[in-house]
Every structure is written in structure tokens, then in C-alpha cells.
Chains A and B, each alone.
Chain A
Amino acid sequence: KNEVEQSPQNLTAQEGEFITINCSYSVGISALHWLQQHPGGGIVSLFMLSSGKKKHGRLIATINIQEKHSSLHITASHPRDSAVYICAVRSATGANSKLTFGKGITLSVRP
């Protein structure tokens, strides 16, 4: 069983829809990251969170430590949100702590 599971694997939405992407993990963590990978391959870090909720523009990330689950929400989705969204967890603190990545979810937002 993978340590980080993301669902759904592929997601198609209509412009304007509210989108939720899920991430579940099976180990204790110190932090969880949400990353966005554009079609060209470049990766951008969206959020790092260890508890509660963070918001940036139309993006909201939440985490439930007890349930080992995080969600990324996109409000008023737009075609430019089309990308691969990757969840990653960090299992320990310190300079040599490592990230374990999910396989990512491919989101397509249709105009």
C-alpha cells in the first residue's frame, strides 16, 4: 500500500465549479505539501500545512491529522487551473527529512 494515496486519479470539471482533491496518508507526519505541476513539467509549491486550514486566493487546503487526510479545494475553477496536483508528506523534521509523494491527480477544467 502506498504511503500517500490521492483521489480521484483524473478529474474533469466545468469552469466555475467547486473542486475538491483528496489525499490520504498512512504514516505520522510533520507536514503535508500540496504541489501543482503544469503541463510543461514545472512544479510550484502551493501549500505546506501541519494543521487546520490555509487559504491563498481561490485555493484552500485543509488537513485532519487524526484522520490522516487532507483536501485541496479550488473555488470558481478556471481552465488555467488545469494541472497535476500532487500531495506529499514529510515524516520527520530536520535537514534530512524526506518527502513521500503521491502520484498526483490530473485536473482538467473545461471552458
Chain B
Amino acid sequence: SQTIHQWPATLVQPVGSPLSLECTVEGTSNPNLYWYRQAAGRGLQLLFYSVGIGQISSEVPQNLSASRPQDRQFILSSKKLLLSDSGFYLCAWSVRTAVSNVLTFGAGSRLTVL
């Protein structure tokens, strides 16, 4: 069966510090991978998605970047965090077919920037 792992679960970082959130998927190959952010009182916002190794699409201009060094690994990074980067970050994957686009989410990473 497929599983998705996301870490760390909770992170408190000072403004200006770097960030690295990691997500890995098991039990599937060639998944579509996504990073979402959920800010307080707002819906989920797609930050990045990837359809393959090294292929990253950015949805919104921001202080963050994403990388996919391996087929089932997706990393969210920042060189210098801003206060506005605080939020709940969710990694997700879906099967790469047009028929089934059901998303499976990781447990999320709660980032607080102080």
C-alpha cells in the first residue's frame, strides 16, 4: 500500500533562518507531488507541483522553493524565512493519470516563524 511521510511535524524558526521540509512517498512510482500551504482562516493554497524528477511548477511568487531530487522525494525550502511564511504545510501525491486525481495528503508540518 502507498504511504506518504512528511517531516518535521512542528517547526519554530526565527526570521531569516533557512527552512527544509521533506516529503517522501512509498509504494508507488512516478507520482504527481504537491506542496500546499494552509494559512489561518484561508483555504489550501497550492505552492508547487511536480510531475517528475527535477520538474517543478510554481503557482505563486514567494519566498519558497521546491525540489524533487528523486522520484518519490519532494522538498520545500527557503533560504531566509519571513514572518508571513508561518502556516501549515501539506505535502500530497496523486496517481499520474487523467482518470484518478485523488490526492493523498501527508500529516502536515506546522511552521511558526518568530
Contact = CB atoms under 8 A, between A and B. Distances in A.
A98 B110 contact: no
A66 interface: no
A96 B96 CA distance: 9
Contact of B43 (A42, A86, A93): A86
Contact of B105 (A40, A44, A102): A44
B88 to A, nearest CB: 6
Contact of A102 (B43, B45, B46, B57): B43
Q: Which of A48, A93, A99 has the most CB of B within 10 A?
A: A99
A54 B49 CA distance: 28
A90 interface: yes
B42 A103 contact: yes
A94 B32 CA distance: 11
Nearest to A42: B107
A52 B107 CA distance: 30
A45 B43 contact: no
Contacts of A43: 90, 105, 108
Interface in A13-61: 31, 33, 35, 40-45, 48
B49 A41 contact: no
Contacts of A33: 102-103
A86 B45 CA distance: 13
A33 B42 CA distance: 17
A103 B59 CA distance: 18
A77 B104 CA distance: 25
A35 B103 CA distance: 9
B103 to A, nearest CB: 6
B32 A99 contact: no
Contacts of B29: none
Interface in B34-72: 41-46, 49, 51, 57, 59
For the complex of A and B, 4 pairs with smallest distance between CB atoms: A101-B43, A43-B105, A101-B44, A41-B108
Interface of A: 2, 4, 31, 33, 35, 40-45, 48, 86, 88, 90, 93-104
